[in-house]
């Protein structure tokens, strides 16, 4: 047998000077090598001498089974991927706090978190797409998950919502069918992260209850500019419960402090190619730059009398309550100000459930909510491998908690002492926790009588009225986007009957929309309108809160300007742009011919963030084109530079430019089409004028010209 040349002295040699120790969170100690560098150990804490070579018989001999470090390292690597979520697999999370700014809810609910204004409660939020797998792009046309975990002093409260206030289906029993239809078709494994295929629209066209949601997903709501610029909704109707057991219906809202904003479809397609992590990177960069993301927390409060008089059933998740009928009262805020330390440990392992509510918050009989309460808990066992997923730091309450739950896979907390059951005869020091009738959770009292059956409330049968209301609440630009989205999605459907069936439903929503979609699909004739289960209410008034464009922020705060520069860029003009952007609360990036930087008129070399062929204008909310004359001549022969200005023009962005940029516009064939969305920078003072114009976010008047072409 060959002798190993690495004797026991090698480990000692590797650890010479390891005289310092650190105490970890669990009280354990870790050796520290020279220069305060931790010593690599196994998961059992055994120091590792050589992490480059496995243990062999001779330098070219077989590997020994004895090498416990090798076995542990490979073992863990082989199992470091947990099953991804069936839905909402593509997610990104951040830490922050929840704060009540108003004590209105204190008298309506016993929830401790509502009792004090100004108190900051730790929170974690995970944003996500629904249909795509973990590796799918960020800016797919999809609903966005908006799941909030608030670590209250009475346990974890999860508001597991979306960026849309309604949903596709009314009963959880249809959820597997919906997701199966939306995901990749099972015989071919595609398309990924998109609904433009037969199975999805076959299901939707056979499910009239989905028509309202279909309008939302074909709108710009499913193409958010970033997480920071989208709303969040609790979707369902919940109850607030006061000390006397009286309840108030409530719907939860998150309203972005920076206002609403979306991208257009062509822009989204190119964004997914340019940066599949666009939404993740945006939130990461904002927080790291010291500009936390913030939302106002609002509630719609109403009673049984309103619920009875409302045209629709408040237990129907495919319906919303217009803010004109029940205003959203702002009572708090949510601030995200810290990125995760480890994506897997926090964002991937976080577990939400609609069933996690503190005392003072209760459920309604919404059949979709009732099913979700079961489903979320059930899925954690599959994903996280154990009923002890609550022991993971990201899921553990931050308040004291005491249970008699014990053992199981990966148990990190077990009852101490003799008692592991209740009731027991032992005193408080040995017997453990007891229930508390005064502090414990009490559900809302409700008297219910009825037959045992499978059915829905009568008002659930109205499937078109609010779909119509949503559509007429949009600006003409947004209505065009909805029409274009339907045409695109249905054009990918290979079965003519499915396309025609969808148009038959749209005829009940808006005849002009249906005709335009039919024309875009080349239907020879319009189908007959689908027969509604209940008469369509056609005089529901528009709701101003439903339009993104009508609720624009009128400011450039939180947005990004892309500045295309070359050697010889005017230093004063550039500085004026930079100052104007910063004064408006925005950020900027320099885009240039080479990543090494450009030399300005003052002779300074300025770092460039993006090379022109890697920094397209889709990455920015507005652009400025300020090359030198020689630089413009160079860019005019660069295809990606022409794409930069062409895309900015096509996506209706505001464009600032200097006179020297004209050759590039000529080559891009847009010089003759320059409109009021272009701002010439003749002096540094023009920079402020340009950024003020950018507060409108898009020069929408141009889009009609682009569409006409």
- Assign 3-class secondary structure to 56-102: ECCCCCCECCCCHHHHHHHHHHHCCCCCCCCCCCCEEEEEEEEEECC
Q: E-assigned strands of 131-203?
A: 144-152, 155-162
Distance CA 495, CA 502 (A): 11
Q: Answer yes or no: are the C-beta atoms of 94 and 339 closer than 8 Å.
A: yes
pLDDT in the model for residue 11: 32
**Burial, 396: exposed, middle or buried (Cβ in 10 Å; 0-12, 13-18, 19+)?**
middle
* Cβ neighbours around 19 below 10 Å, total: 10
- For residue 497, list its beta bridge partners: none
Contact 626, 681 (CB under 8 A): yes
Task: Say what the pLDDT of residue 6 is.
Answer: 37
Whole-number Å distance between alpha carbons of 364 and 676: 52
Q: Which of 293, 294, 267 is nearest to 282 (CA)?
A: 293
DSSP bridge pairs for 564 = 591, 625
Q: What is the pLDDT of residue 281?
A: 98
Determine phi and psi for 605, rounding to 5 degrees.
-90, 120
Q: State the Cα–Cα distance between residues 208 and 536, nearest whole angstrom.
A: 12
CATH of domain 554-708: 3.40.50.880
Q: Which two tokens stand for residue 389?
A: 């997923």
Active centre residues (catalytic): 88, 162
How is the chain split into domains, by residue range? 9-78, 91-192+218-391, 466-549, 554-708
> Strand, helix or coil at 174?
helix
pLDDT at 708: 56
What is the β-pairing status of strands 622-625 and 560-564? parallel
* Packing angle of the helix pair 511-521, 496-506 (nearest 10 deg): 160
**How far apart, in whole angstroms, are the C-alpha atoms of residue 603 and residue 600?**
5
Residue corresponding to tokens 């003409």: 476
Q: What is the DSSP string of 194-231?
A: ---SHHHHHHHHT-GGGHHHHHHHTSGGGSBS-GGG--
Determine contact, residues 482/502, Cβ cutoff 8 Å. no
CA distances from 60 to 23, 349, 583 (A): 40, 41, 65
Q: Which of the residues in the chain have pLDDT under 50?
A: 1-30, 32, 709
Q: How far apart are CA 367 and CA 232, in angstroms?
A: 21
Residue 466 vs residues 27, 267, 312, 314, 460: alpha-carbon distances, Å: 58, 29, 9, 13, 12
Q: Is 248 helix (H, G, I), strand (E, B) or coil?
A: strand
Residue with tokens 């976080």: 350
Rounded Cα distance, 503 and 526, in Å: 8
252: Cα within 13 Å, side-chain hemisphere: 28
**Looking only at Cα atoms, what is the longest distance across the chain?**
92
Which helix (H) or strand (E) segment holds residue 252: the answer is strand 247-256
Q: Which CATH class is domain 466-549?
A: mainly alpha
- The CATH number assigned to the domain with range 9-78 reads 4.10.91.20
For the chain, the residue count is: 709
How distant, in Å, are the alpha carbons of 162, 206, 323, 460, 603 from that of 170?
15, 14, 22, 8, 65
State both tokens at 601. 């008129």
Rg over CA atoms, the chain: 29
Contact criterion met (CB below 8 Å) for 142 and 124: no
Structure tokens, 451? 């037959």
- Token pair 């209850």 is found at 209
Is residue 300 a contact partner of residue 322, using CB atoms and an 8 Å limit? no
**Cα dihedral sign for 146, 149, 150, 154?**
positive
Phi first, then psi: give them for residue 37, nearest 5 degrees.
-90, 125
User: Phi, psi (5° rounding) for residue 59?
Assistant: -65, -20
Q: Which of 220, 125, 248 is nearest to 164 (CA)?
A: 220
Which phi and psi (to 5°) does residue 366 adopt? -55, 115
Spatial contact of 98 and 334, defined as CB atoms under 8 Å apart = yes
CATH class of the domain defined by 91-192+218-391:
mainly beta
Residue 387 near residue 412 (C-beta atoms within 8 A): no
Residue 354 contacts residue 160 (beta carbons within 8 Å): yes
| pLDDT value, residue 445 | 86
């Amino acid at each position: 047998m060959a002798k190993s040349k690495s004797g026991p002295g090698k480990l000692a040699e590797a650890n010479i000077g390891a005289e310092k120790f650190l105490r970890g969170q669990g009280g354990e100690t870790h050796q520290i090598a020279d220069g305060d560098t931790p010593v690599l150990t196994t998961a059992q804490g055994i120091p590792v001498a050589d992490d480059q070579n496995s243990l062999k018989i001779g330098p070219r001999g077989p590997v020994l089974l004895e090498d416990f470090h090798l076995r542990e390292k490979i073992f863990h690597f082989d199992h470091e991927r947990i099953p991804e979520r069936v839905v909402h697999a593509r997610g990104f999370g951040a830490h922050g706090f929840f704060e009540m700014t108003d004590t209105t809810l204190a008298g309506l609910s016993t929830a401790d978190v509502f009792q004090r204004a100004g108190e900051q409660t730790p929170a974690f939020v995970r944003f996500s797409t629904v249909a795509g797998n973990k590796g799918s792009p960020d800016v797919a046309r999809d609903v966005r998950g908006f799941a909030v975990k608030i670590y209250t002093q009475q346990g974890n409260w999860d508001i597991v919502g979306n960026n849309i206030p309604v949903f596709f289906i009314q009963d959880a029993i249809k959820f597997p069918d919906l997701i199966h239809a939306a995901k990749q078709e099972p015989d071919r494994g595609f398309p990924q992260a998109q609904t433009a295929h037969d199975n999805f629209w076959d299901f939707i066209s056979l499910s009239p209850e989905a028509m309202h949601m279909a309008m939302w997903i074909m709108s710009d709501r499913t193409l958010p500019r970033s997480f920071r610029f989208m709303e969040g909704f609790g979707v369902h109707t919940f109850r607030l419960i006061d000390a006397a057991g009286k309840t108030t219906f409530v719907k939860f809202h998150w309203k972005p402090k920076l206002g609403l904003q979306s991208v257009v479809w062509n822009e989204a397609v190119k964004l997914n190619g340019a940066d599949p992590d666009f939404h993740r990177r945006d939130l990461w960069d904002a927080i790291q730059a010291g500009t936390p993301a913030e939302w106002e927390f609002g509630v719609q409060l109403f009673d049984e009398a309103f619920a009875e008089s409302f045209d629709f059933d408040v237990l129907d998740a495919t319906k919303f309550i217009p803010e004109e009928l029940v205003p959203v009262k702002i009572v708090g805020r949510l601030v995200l100000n810290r990125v995760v330390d480890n994506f897997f440990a926090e964002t991937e392992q976080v577990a939400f459930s609609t069933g996690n509510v503190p005392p003072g918050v209760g459920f309604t009989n919404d059949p979709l909510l009732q099913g979700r309460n079961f489903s979320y808990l059930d899925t954690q066992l599959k994903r996280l491998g154990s009923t002890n997923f609550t022991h993971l730091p990201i899921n553990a309450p931050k308040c004291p908690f005491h249970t008699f739950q014990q053992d199981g896979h990966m148990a990190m907390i077990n009852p101490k002492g003799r008692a592991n059951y209740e009731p027991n005869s032992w005193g408080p020091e040995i017997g453990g926790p007891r229930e508390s009738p005064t502090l414990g959770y009490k559900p809302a009292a409700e008297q219910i009588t009825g037959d045992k059956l499978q059915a829905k409330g009568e008002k659930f049968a109205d499937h078109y009225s609010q779909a119509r209301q949503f559509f007429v609440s949009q600006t003409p630009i947004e209505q065009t986007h909805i029409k274009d989205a339907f045409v695109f999605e249905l054009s990918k459907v290979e079965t003519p009957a499915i396309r025609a069936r969808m148009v038959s439903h749209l005829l009940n929503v808006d005849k002009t929309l249906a005709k335009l979609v039919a024309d875009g699909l080349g239907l020879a004739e319009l189908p007959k309108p689908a027969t509604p289960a209940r008469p369509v209410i056609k005089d529901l008034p528009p709701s101003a809160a439903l339009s993104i464009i009508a609720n624009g922020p009128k400011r450039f705060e939180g947005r990004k300007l892309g500045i295309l520069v070359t050697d010889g860029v005017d230093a004063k003009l550039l500085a004026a742009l930079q100052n104007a952007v910063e004064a408006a609360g925005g950020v900027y990036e320099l885009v240039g011919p080479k990543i090494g930087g450009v030399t300005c008129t003052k002779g300074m070399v300025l770092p460039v963030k993006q090379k022109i062929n890697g920094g397209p204008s889709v990455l920015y909310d507005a652009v400025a084109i300020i090359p030198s004359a020689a630089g413009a001549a160079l860019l005019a022969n660069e295809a990606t530079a022409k794409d930069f200005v062409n895309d900015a023009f096509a996506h209706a962005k505001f464009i600032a430019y200097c006179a020297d940029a004209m050759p590039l516009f000529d080559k891009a064939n847009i010089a003759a089409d320059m409109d009021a969305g272009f701002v010439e920078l003749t002096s540094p003072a023009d920079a402020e004028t340009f950024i003020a114009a950018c507060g409108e976010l898009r020069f929408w008047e141009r889009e009609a010209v682009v569409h006409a072409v």
